[in-house]
Amino acid sequence: MTVRAATYRTGLVFFPAFDWAITPDHPEREERLLYTRDQIREEGLFDIPGVVEYRPRPATELDVKRAHICAGPLSAVAGSPHLIAAGGAIVAGEKVWSHEVDRAFALLRPPGHHAMRIVHGARGFCTINNEAVLIEYLRKKAGGKLKVAVVDTDAHHADGTQDIYYNDPDVLHISIHQDGRTLFPGSGHLTELGGPGAFAYTLNLPLPPGSGDSELLFAIQELVLPVLQDFQPDIVINGAGQDNHYSDPLTNMNVTAQGYARLTELLSPDIVVLEGGYSIEGALPYVNVGIILALAGLDYTGVQEPDRMHVERRSSSESSVSSTVRKNVEELRLIWEKKDELDLGRIFGGGDFFHRKRRIYYDTDNIVEFQEESIRLCSECSGYRKVFSVAQSLYIGGKQTRLAAVIIPWHACATCRNEAEQEYDRLSKSQFDYICLQDVEEDRYLCK
């Protein structure tokens, strides 16, 4: 028996982590990918010529440090499962990078897109940002010359990935999600467009509750694809969270397996990374089969959830997309097109630094963090950053952690670099629990 061969050689890093859970009754739990494994096996997808399964390996501490600054030792916040998931994303990237396969899917858990640059614990079921670790790994391999587009289609705003690439003009971050006013983490508004060194390289499209295939595909076709066409990334990564499925218990969206497969076909990503998705019986098995077939370039039109088999399939139509969504898409398109003409001074102020304050809540670990960040407004590079972070555990008797960090970005200019080093020296003399320097280009990670 031969199965029709895949048009695109597709690598699958399938890691269901069957022996790990956040807690015994948490949705992010051992059997989350169990039925998905059964469906993929029964469909015989691993036997398709051109579909290759790979084994993950644990990411190293260095791999993680390129993306994150941890308050304390890595082992305090992240364990083997997190490292293996991040390492699995790296393996997927490696195989594409070396042309062993054309595309790869890191179908694994635990997810990562809610993990921000500074990590005090787990939030939104995430501890290490798998996509960021993957991107930094590839960027190192490319000697810093790499343009990446991340398109996160999970129902939740990818606030972690957005944070890490907030001021990075080489990484375009687009997140399409259920409106933050109706769902965790509450952010991802149209107005979040990135920092002074990368304005408009962060794009957020909130969708109203009830949005489904029509809205998602409209967003891909009318916003994402034209922007990607303009940005010309070397690598496109899709954060393919599947909690936007109509059967997901935690959200209110209406995407179907067919819709997701079509999205994958249109977007044509190089690497897909699983994020959320908790309808483990009714959605994940079918959506993932659809994504794998679409990635491989095979016919996915036969994929359908059992509970929709007797329902007449309504093709997603453009006409049903609401005017709000259309308007928002248009606005974002305009901002992108006009980004180089905008007067950043009006948005970020005229001083030497741009300051912002944020409150970040870690739901999984019940920690609240206050961040004050300063970004140097630089015409030569994206500008170095200084962050003060105070995290308070909200449990009774919970501890407080005070952290200061200086971040030297890729391609930092000499001035920013020098100033950053001086700032770090100056801060080293003050009272913090952790004083950190992150210099990805030179691979220097200091934490006192």
Partner 1 sequence: MGLAMSSYLIGIDVGGTNTNAVLLEDSRVLETAVVPTRHDDLLASTVGALNAIVSHLPRDRFSEAELHLSTTLATNAIVEGKGDPAAVIVSLGPGLKIEDMEFPFPVFPIPGYIDHRGREVAPVDFDSLRSVLKEIKSLGVTRIAVAGKFSPRNPSQELAIEEFVQTEYPEFVPITLGHRLTGRLNLPRRITTAYLNAKVTGVQLAFASAVKQLIQELGLHSRVFVLKADGGTMDLHESLVRPVETILSGPAASTMGAIALASLTEGNSVVVDIGGTTTDISVLVDGRPVYEKDGAGIAGFKTIVPALYSRSFGLGGDSRVWMDGTEIRIGPHRAGPPAALGGTNVTPTDAAVFLGGAAIGDKDLSIKAITKLSEEWGFTPLELANEIVEAFCEQAAESIEAVYNYLTQLPAYTVEEILRQEDLRPKKIIGMGGPARFFIPLIARRLGVDYEITPYCECANAVGAAAACPTASVTLRADTALGKVVVPELDYVSDISHPLLFDVNRAREIAIDKVVDLAGRRQILARKEDVEIVEEEIYNVVRDFHTVGRIISLKAQISPRTRKIQS
- Contact set with partner 1 (CB under 8 A): 1-4, 14-20, 24-25, 27, 29-31, 34-35, 37-39, 41-47, 53-58, 80-81, 84, 249, 281, 285, 289, 293, 298-299, 301-304, 306, 309-310
**Residue 25 or 312 with smaller CB distance to partner 1:** 25
Phi, psi of 346 (to 5 degrees): -70, -30
- The four Cα atoms 268, 298, 92, 442 give a dihedral, to 10 degrees, of -20
Map residue 191 onto helix, strand or coil: coil
Q: 123: which DSSP letter?
A: B
Residue 281 CB burial class (10 angstroms; 0-12, 13-18, ≥19): middle
Looking at residue 205, the DSSP 8-state letter turns out to be: E
Q: Are strands 103-108 and 434-439 parallel, antiparallel or unpaired?
A: unpaired
In DSSP notation, 359-392 reads EEEETTTTEEEEEEEEEE--SSSS--EEEEEEEE
Closest to 279 (Cα-Cα) out of 256, 259, 295:
256
CB 161 within 8 A of CB 131: yes
Catalytic residue among 114, 156, 173, 245: 114
Are the C-beta atoms of 253 and 246 separated by less than 8 Å? yes
Distances (CA, A) of 227 to 164, 187, 198, 296: 20, 22, 15, 24
104, 88, 145, 75: which is closest to 11 by C-alpha? 104
Q: Which three-class secondary structure state does DSSP give residue 22? A: coil
Shortest gap between Cβ of 80 and partner 1 (angstroms)? Answer: 5
Question: Which is nearer to partner 1, 23 or 229 (by Cβ)?
Answer: 23
Query: Is the separation of the CB atoms in 289 and 303 below 8 Å?
Result: yes
Peptide bond before residue 285 is cis, with ω within 30 degrees of 0: no
Q: Kindly report the length of the chain.
A: 448
CB of 372 to partner 1, least distance (A): 37
Of 7 and 422, CB closest to partner 1 = 7
**Residue at 403: amino acid letter:** L
SS3 state at 155: coil
Q: Catalytic site residue 114?
A: yes
Give the position of tokens 């044509």. Answer: 268
What residues are annotated to the active site?
Answer: 114
